[in-house]
C-alpha cells in the first residue's frame, strides 16, 4: 500500500510520472452540483468538486459525468475553468432511489461512451470512478477507450454491514458483488485512510500494490477560526443563525440517517439531564442537515425522539446550510459531535476543527484519522448515550480544556488540504498511466514475436 505525501501545487512535468491532460470523472448517483448534507449528497460531492478545481489549476481538465436529475440544468455546466459537469440521461429525472440505479447503468454507460465517441480519439487519458455504481461504468469504458481506471469506493458495503445501526437495513449482496468486481478490475484503488486500505485488501482481496492512501482535504480559506475574540464571534454566529446565545451548544452536521447516529446525541442530552440536571439545562443541541438513506423512511423520527425523551426544548433543527453559513455554524458551536457508526473519512470533523471547534467523534473508520484524540477533540468508543453524556458533561463546562482543544483542532486541520489531495491523486494517475503504457508495450512486443 502506498501512502502519498507530496508537495503542493507542483507544475506540469515536475512529477516523475506522466500527467493526464484530461480525465473523465464518474459520479453516477449524485452530482457535485447538488447541495451536500441531504439525500445522497455528502462528502463525496464535496470531494469531487474540490479535487476537480485543484486538478484544473494544475492543467488537468476534468469532465464529471453524472446522471441528469433536473430539467432546469443544461447538458453541460462549466463550474470552474477546466471543470465541466456533463448530465447523462439515464432513466427519469425524478423518482429513482440510489438502490434502483443499477437498472440504469446500461443507459448511463451508453451516454458516457457516446459522449466520448463524439470527441477526437484519445480524448481522455484516464477514468476516475467514485462509488461502486460509477466503478461498474468505468470498468467498461476503460476497456473501450484503452485507458486506466482509478477507483475510489468512498464507502464499502461489507464495512457498513459490519457496523450497522440497530434496525438499519444491510446493503444488498448485489452491491457487495459489484464492489468486488470493481476492485478486481481497477488499475488503481484510492483509499481515504489506511483503515479503508486495510479493508480493501482484507475484505475485498485487493492487490496491496495497487492500493494508495490519499487523504481528503478541507478548504482552509473557507473553514477557519473566527478572527478576534472567540466568545464574541460565537455569540455573533448564533445570532446570525437564530440559535440561543446563552449556554453550551453541541452541533451535529450531516445527512440525517441512522448510520450517522444523530439520535445518539439526543439520547446523550437526555442521559446528561439524568446525571446533571443543572448542567443539562445549559446545553443545547443543533442538528443541521436533511433526511437521507433509510432516514427518509421516517423524516420526523428525531423530532419525535426528542419529544419522547422530554428534551424537545433543548434540540434545534436547521436545514442543510450552504456557503458562508456552514463555517458560522461550526463557529457557533462549543463542540461538534460526529457519533457515526461508520465514516469513511468524515469531512465535517475536519471542517469543524479547521474553524477551531473541537470534535467529539465515535472511534470508527476515518474519524480516527480526522480527529486527534485528546489533542483536537475526543474519540468515544461505542455509542452508549451514557458514555457520550459523560464525555460532553466533562468537556462543556471546562472552558480551559475547550480552549486547548480548539487550538489543537485548528492546528490538526492544517495538515489537510485539497491541494495535497489533488497532488496525491496526480501521483496515482501518473503511476496508473505509466503501468498501463508498459503493459501495452510488452503486449505489443509479445505479439511481434509471432
Ligand atoms: N454539508 C453541507 N451542508 C450541510 C451539511 C453538510 O454542505 O448542511 C457538507 C459538509 O460540509 C461536508 C459534507 O456535507 O463537506 C459531508 O461530508 P462527510 O464526509 O462528513 O459525510 P458524508 O456525507 O460523506 O457521509
Cβ–ligand 1 contact at 216 (below 6 Å) = no
Question: If you average pLDDT over every residue of the chain, what do you get?
Answer: 94
Q: Which atom of ligand 1 is nearest to the CA of 35?
A: 7
Residue nearest to atom 10 of ligand 1 (CA): 348
Which of 43, 261, 353 maximizes ligand 1 atoms within 8 Å of its Cβ, making it the mutation to test the pocket? 43
Whether the full predicted model's pTM is greater than 0.90, yes or no, is yes
**Using 50, 70 and 90 to split pLDDT, how confident is the model at 11?**
very low
In whole angstroms, give the CA distance from residue 84 to residue 339.
35
Determine whether the annotation assigns residue 257 to a binding site.
no
pLDDT for 246-274, tens place per residue?
999 999 999 999 999 999 999 999 999 99
Ligand 1 atom at shortest distance from the alpha carbon of 319: 8
Ligand 1 centre distance from Cα of residue 38 (Å):
8
Whether 22-217+420-439 shares its CATH topology with 230-414 is answered yes
Q: Would the annotation count 343 as a binding residue?
A: yes
Which atom of ligand 1 is closest in space to residue 46's alpha carbon?
15
* Residue 179, marked binder: no
Q: What would the 3-class secondary structure string for 124-146 be? A: CCEEEEEHHHHHHHHHHHHHHHC
Residue 441 cell numbers, joined: 508495450
Look up the CATH superfamily of 230-414: Glycogen Phosphorylase B; (3.40.50.2000)
Domain ranges of the chain: 22-217+420-439, 230-414
pLDDT tens per residue across span 117-173: 999 999 999 999 999 999 999 999 999 999 999 999 999 999 999 988 888 899 999
Q: Given 3-state DSSP classes, what are the helix, strand and coil percentages for the chain, each rounded to the nearest 5?
A: 45, 15, 35
Is the shortest distance between the CB of 42 and ligand 1 below 6 Å?
A: yes
Q: Which three-class secondary structure state does DSSP give residue 87?
A: strand
Residue with C-alpha cell 482509478? 150
Residue with cell 485528546: 374
Whether residue 225 has its Cβ less than 6 Å from ligand 1 = no
Assign domain 22-217+420-439 to its CATH architecture: 3-Layer(aba) Sandwich (3.40)
Amino acid at each position: 500500500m502506498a501512502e502519498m505525501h507530496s508537495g503542493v501545487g507542483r507544475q506540469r512535468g515536475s512529477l516523475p510520472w506522466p500527467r493526464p491532460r484530461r480525465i473523465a470523472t464518474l459520479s453516477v448517483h449524485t452530482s457535485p452540483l447538488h447541495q451536500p448534507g441531504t439525500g445522497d449528497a455528502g462528502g463525496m460531492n464535496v470531494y469531487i468538486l474540490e479535487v476537480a478545481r485543484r486538478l484544473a489549476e494544475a492543467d488537468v481538465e476534468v469532465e464529471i459525468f453524472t446522471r441528469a436529475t433536473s430539467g432546469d440544468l443544461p447538458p453541460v455546466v462549466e463550474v470552474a475553468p477546466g471543470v465541466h459537469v456533463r448530465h447523462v440521461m439515464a432513466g427519469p429525472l425524478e423518482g429513482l432511489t440510489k438502490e434502483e440505479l443499477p437498472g440504469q447503468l446500461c443507459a448511463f454507460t451508453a451516454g458516457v461512451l457516446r459522449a466520448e465517441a463524439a470527441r477526437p480519439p484519445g480524448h481522455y487519458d484516464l477514468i476516475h470512478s467514485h462509488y461502486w455504481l460509477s466503478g461498474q461504468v468505468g470498468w467498461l469504458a476503460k476497456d473501450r477507450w484503452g485507458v486506466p481506471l482509478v477507483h475510489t469506493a468512498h464507502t464499502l458495503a461489507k464495512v457498513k454491514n459490519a457496523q450497522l445501526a440497530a434496525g438499519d437495513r444491510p446493503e444488498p449482496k448485489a452491491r457487495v458483488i459489484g464492489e468486488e468486481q470493481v476492485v478486481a478490475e481497477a488499475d488503481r484503488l484510492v483509499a481515504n485512510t489506511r483503515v479503508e486500505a486495510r479493508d480493501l485488501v482484507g475484505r475485498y482481496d485487493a492487490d496491496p500494490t495497487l492500493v494508495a492512501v490519499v487523504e481528503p482535504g478541507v478548504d482552509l480559506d473557507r473553514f477557519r477560526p473566527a478572527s478576534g475574540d472567540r466568545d464574541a464571534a460565537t455569540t455573533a454566529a448564533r445570532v446570525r443563525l437564530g440559535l440561543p446565545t446563552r449556554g453550551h451548544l453541541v452541533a451535529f452536521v450531516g445527512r440525517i440517517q441512522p448510520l450517522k447516529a444523530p439520535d445518539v446525541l439526543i439520547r446523550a442530552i437526555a442521559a446528561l439531564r439524568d446525571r446533571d440536571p443543572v448542567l443539562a439545562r445549559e446545553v443545547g443541541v443543533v442538528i443541521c442537515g436533511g433526511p437521507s438513506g433509510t432516514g427518509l423512511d421516517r423524516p420526523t423520527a428525531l423530532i419525535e425522539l426528542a419529544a419522547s425523551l422530554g428534551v424537545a426544548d433543548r434540540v434545534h433543527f436547521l436545514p442543510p446550510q450552504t456557503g458562508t453559513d456552514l463555517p458560522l455554524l461550526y463557529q457557533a458551536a462549543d463542540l461538534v459531535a460526529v457519533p457515526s457508526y461508520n465514516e469513511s473519512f468524515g469531512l465535517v470533523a475536519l471542517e469543524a476543527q479547521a474553524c477551531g471547534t473541537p470534535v467529539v467523534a465515535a472511534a470508527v473508520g476515518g474519524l480516527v484519522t480526522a480527529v486527534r484524540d485528546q489533542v483536537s477533540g475526543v474519540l468515544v468508543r461505542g455509542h452508549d448515550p451514557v458514555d457520550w453524556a459523560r464525555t460532553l458533561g466533562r468537556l462543556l463546562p471546562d472552558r480551559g480544556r475547550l480552549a486547548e482543544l480548539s487550538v489543537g483542532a485548528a492546528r490538526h486541520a492544517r495538515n489537510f488540504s485539497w491541494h495535497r489531495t489533488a497532488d496525491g491523486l496526480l501521483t496515482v494517475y501518473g503511476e496508473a498511466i505509466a503501468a498501463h503504457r508498459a503493459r501495452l508495450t510488452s503486449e505489443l512486443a509479445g505479439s511481434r514475436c509471432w
